[in-house]
Amino acid sequence: MAFTGVYQGIDGAHSKLVLDSFFQTKGVEAQSSGAPTFRQVAINVLNGKADVGVLPIDNAIAGTVREGYDLLAEYELVPIAEVDWRMDQRLLGIPGALVEDIREVEGHPLILEECGHFLGTLAGVRVIPVEDTGVAAREVAESKDKTRAAIGPPEAGKIYGLAELAANIADHPENYTRFLIFAAPNAREEVLQLGGATPEHRKTSVLLSTLHEAGSLARCIDILAEAKINLSKLESKPKLGKAWEYLFYLDFEGDVREPRVAQAIAKLEEYTQYLHVIGSYDTHNATQRGIRGDALPAINIDRTSSNGWKPELMPASAKHWPKAARTAHPSGTRIKVGPVTVGDGEFVIVGGPCAVESRDQVIETAKAVKAAGAVMLRGGVFKPRSNPYSFQGMGWEGAELLAEAGRAAGLPTVSEVMSIDQVEGMSRYIDVLQIGARNMQNFDLLKAVGKVNNPILLKRGMSASIEEWIAAAEYILAEGNPNVILCERGIRTFETSTRNTLDLSAIPVIRERTHLPIMVDPSHGVGVRRWVRPLCRAAKALGAHGLLIEVHPNPAEAKCDGDQSLTFADFRTIMRDLSMIPTGDELERVPAIAE
Ligand code: PEP
Ligand code: MN
């Protein structure tokens, strides 16, 4: 039995890729055709010109696609399945064109919104909304004009013979759109069954506006909570024609055929002025086009800029570290630590004390750094100290306290292991194991952490060359642990004004030679509290994937590294500074200055 489907646009549109991929996953024969507008897609399904249609309803960057939801409601169409689609946005131009030559960029309005940041970096470029991605690509191709470009997926580039001038240009690499595949209310049974029949993995979408009474939205949410219905989306949009009245777009887990869902919806009616159940649908089609969190290709396809990377630029010594070399994983490694991702496309802050000193100290610091925006907690419990009479860390008791503080604040933890016998135990308490500068070439220790599952933060040795540091990472990778984060923390030079010399030039070198994430520890790098702040800003702009910063509730009383530890207020200031600074990746999307 062959099916027919309709999407908005022409060949090359994201919607067409979504629809074709849906049919393909279902293993059915099908034919798809384009319609000029979202509304026409809905009408063609309603009129029986196509069995199913596809419309976007939500984007991870730009939010609700109101027209998608509204048309489904207006024509009482029946959603059958959701497709969660990675929007792979590339800048497509005439072969031979350069990003810096572009004067006009065309794209679908929703897509222009997803790529706002990138477009903002193209000074003097006119941004032109067009009805569809395929049309944008076709027009640019037909014009043969090297100053024009379109935004679209790589497939659109191939169809119309366009070159990819830049990749991964959405405001965030985790750029997904939820599309709904829907049918007409009187659709044939086979069509409705395309959604799958499993009662699990179903979601329901509703539109509602609440009564003008105090607490009515809260009551609606309570009704869902009481029925143990997990709300996955709640967004409001202005109600057309009624200034300052809002319509709420809700999605929740479950199917209207389940009694608990049906009862909750009946109760919702008491507290709403308007309630429309769009319907329940299968979400089993999960994420198409790769797994959520997979790396996308690196930013610049055209790697001719000074910051770009070319395989032929790899030094001959790279043959000694084949696993760490950029050539092994050109797109850049992304490492998951609980809910956090470190690496390509990300910038993360790890904050916490040099050493765990007491329960109160570490919990208070954890909560403060979390509130300021840190995503991981650091704290040494086995401390490598130059003087044997200095505080050596709280040991295992400290590890327990760090883990407790991490749980209390909801932050994964980072802590150093100094010897092989600590590795196994620490791997159970702590999320990321740190190898300190003094142990960077403790090869037996490197082999030991290569055998655990935890990500490893490998500090640069204080007199290690970049090559030796990458070779140390290779020891860990060679044992089977692929999750190594490098951390520049300053090297010993003749300079005595700063504790070490923070080698920020290591950032572009490491990024070119390896695929591993590179973080920077400005605290140990400079050793002086007031100089930590400017170095944080610099590291972010240079392309570091994150920072490791020492923070203490009362640095004057700290048992170690008080001089370089930030107060909570200092830390907040730095977090605010950083929010205003683009990452190195974002800066590199700006075209090079013409010679
Ligand atoms: C630390 O992070 O507390 C530490 C001891 O670092 P390093 O090994 O870089 O001196
Ligand atoms: Mn320290």
Domain spans of the chain, in order of start: 90-166, 198-283, 317-580
* Residue 128 neighbours by CB distance under 10 Å: 14
Mean pLDDT, residues 65-93: 91
pLDDT band at 529 (very low <50, low <70, confident <90, very high): very high
Pick from 556, 505, 504, 499: nearest CA to 531: 499
Per-residue model confidence (pLDDT) at position 542: 95
* Partners of 252 in beta bridges: 204, 231
Q: Residue 301's pLDDT is what?
A: 37
CA 309 to chain centroid, in Å, comes to 22
Select which of 64, 177, 333, 413 is catalytic: 177
At which residue do the structure tokens 């000029």 appear? Answer: 36
Question: Which pLDDT tens digit goes with each residue over 441-454?
Answer: 999 999 999 999 99
Q: Which residue puts its alpha carbon closest to atom 9 of ligand 1? A: 437
Pick the CATH number of 90-166 from 3.60.21.10, 3.40.190.10, 3.40.640.10, 3.30.950.10: 3.40.190.10
Give nearest CA residue, ligand 1 atom 4.
436
CA gap 32, 480 in Å, rounded: 46
Cβ(517)–Cβ(492) under 8 Å? no
Query: 567: which 2 tokens?
Result: 């107060």
- DSSP annotation string for 88-120: --EEEE-TT--GGG--EEEE-HHHHHHTHHHHH
More confident residue, 387 or 241: 387
With a cut of 80, say whether residue 593 has pLDDT above it: no
Could you give phi then psi for residue 310, rounded to 5 degrees?
-125, 140
Q: Which comes out higher in pLDDT, residue 296 or 96?
A: 96
Percent over 70 (pLDDT), the chain: 94
Nearest-CA residue for ligand 1 atom 8 is: 436
Average pLDDT on 214-224 reads 91
Mutate to test the pocket of ligand 1, among 390, 498, 521 (most ligand atoms within 8 A of CB): 521
Q: What is the mean pLDDT of residues 40-67?
A: 93
Class of residue 299 by CB neighbours under 10 A (exposed 0-12, middle 13-18, buried 19+): buried
Rounded to the nearest angstrom, the distance between the alpha carbon of 255 and the centre of ligand 1 is 53
CATH assignment of 317-580, given 3.30.465.10, 3.20.20.70, 3.30.1380.20, 3.90.1170.50?
3.20.20.70
- Provide long-range contacts, Cβ within 8 A and 24+ apart, for 314-320: 314/513, 315/467, 315/513, 317/467, 318/513, 320/471, 320/474
**Which residue shows structure tokens 């240009």?**
169
Any bridge partners for residue 280, and if so which?
204
Q: Which ligand is nearest to the CA of 438?
A: 1
- If you average pLDDT over residues 526-554, what whole number do you get? 97
Round to whole Å and give the CA distance between 304 and 367.
44
Catalytic residue among 38, 179, 182, 568: 179
Residue type, 509: V
User: ∠ CA 381-453-518 to the nearest 5 degrees?
Assistant: 70
Question: What is the rounded distance in angstroms from the CA atom of residue 135 to the CA atom of residue 131?
Answer: 7
Q: Please check whether residue 150 is in contact with residue 133, taking contact to mean a CB–CB distance below 8 angstroms.
A: yes
Confidence band, pLDDT 50/70/90 cuts, at residue 15: very high
Does residue 382 carry a catalytic annotation?
Answer: no
- Which two structure tokens, joined as six digits, stand for 53? 């249609």
Q: What is the pLDDT, as a whole number, of residue 303?
A: 33
* Predicted structure pTM score: 0.59
Q: How far apart are CA 536 and CA 544, in angstroms?
A: 10
Check the CA dihedral 339-289-181-62 and report its sign.
positive
pLDDT-based confidence at residue 93 (cuts at 50, 70, 90): very high
Atom of ligand 1 nearest to the CA of 439: 8
Assigned token pair, 110: 């929703």
Name the residue of 416, 486, 563 whose CB sits within 8 Å of the most ligand 1 atoms, as the mutation to test its pocket: 416
DSSP assignment of 265-290: HHHHHHTEEEEEEEEEEE-TT-EESS
**Cα gap 415→455, rounded to integer Å:** 11
Q: 145-190, pLDDT tens digit by residue?
A: 999 999 999 999 999 999 988 888 888 877 889 999 999 999 999 9
**Short-list 466, 471, 542, 473, CA closest to 510:** 466
Closest atom, ligand 1, to C-alpha of 521: 9
What is the average per-residue pLDDT within 88-101? 90
| Number of other CB atoms surrounding residue 385 within 10 Å | 14
d(C-alpha 388, C-alpha 17), whole Å: 64
177 annotated active-site: yes
Residue 557 has a CB neighbour count (10 Å cut-off) of: 10
Query: Whole-number mean pLDDT of the chain?
Result: 91
Class in CATH terms, 198-283: alpha beta
- For residue 379, the ligand closest to its alpha carbon is 1
| Measured distance CA(181)–CA(186) in Å, rounded | 15
Nearest to 310 by CA among 320, 319, 300: 300
> Does pLDDT of 300 surpass 60?
no
Confidence of residue 129 (pLDDT cuts 50, 70, 90): very high
pLDDT, tens only, 568-589: 999 999 999 998 898 888 887 6
Q: Which of 173, 169, 289 is nearest to 545 (CA)?
A: 173
The pocket around ligand 1, CB under 6 angstroms, is made up of 354, 380, 384, 436-438, 459, 489, 521, 524
